[in-house]
Structure 1
């Protein structure tokens, strides 16, 4: 699974470089995110711009990551493709997560 992270303007930006976040990789995603999140940062931006498909297992994995954050840390999502954004909207998870517009650093600008 391709997961990369870098510090950028006070946020930890994590990019998932996979076409699908589904049952096949959900557990691996959660495990790798747990390791990545050991890096200190009050904001975590999860970039899903490469993800074209998200199922309930993938959505559950993202929720699990959010719930696993220590108090005071915030998870933001960005780069949602049309199909992925539709899953968040249909499940009403778009009201739970902070979702930013596409673009390389839009999430960082919008939050400031």
Structure 2
């Protein structure tokens, strides 16, 4: 359900949910896969939502669950918010919880600066 890419010469992991809709139907499996990455030592995460056209409250809950699992060990940012995804982040005020960037390159660069 996810595609993983590591940014060269860094400890940053870019996670691309391979779906156009992140909803109750798949949010739990998405969260579980990311939790496995965290448990394996991936602590600097970029969630790339470029290909996601819709998220519901379950997806938001999954992202919050990922943030809690990560705790103080690392950082998580999101990128590629557009249309209804951006609107959902603003409505739920998750744009204040998760730093957001236009694309994965800018998100990775921002995380790299904080290393």
TM-score by length of 2: 0.86
Q: Deviations over 1:47-70 (max 9, x none)?
A: 111110000111111111111104
- Give the length in aligned residue pairs: 110
Alignment of 1:1-112 (within 5 A): 2-8=1-7, 9-102=10-103, 104-111=104-111, 112=113
Q: Measure the CA separation in 2 of the matches of 1:60 and 1:16.
A: 15
Measured on the aligned residues, the alpha-carbon RMSD in Å equals 1.5
Q: Which segments of 5 or more consecutive residues in structure 1 lack a partner in the other structure?
A: none
Runs ≥4 in structure 1, deviation > 3 angstroms? none
Distance change >3 Å, CA 40–CA 7, structure 1 → 2: farther
Task: Compute the displacement of 1:88 (Å).
Answer: 0.5
Does the 8 A contact of 1:5 with 1:36 survive in 2? no
* TM-score, normalised by the number of residues in structure 1: 0.88
Structure number with the higher helix fraction is 2
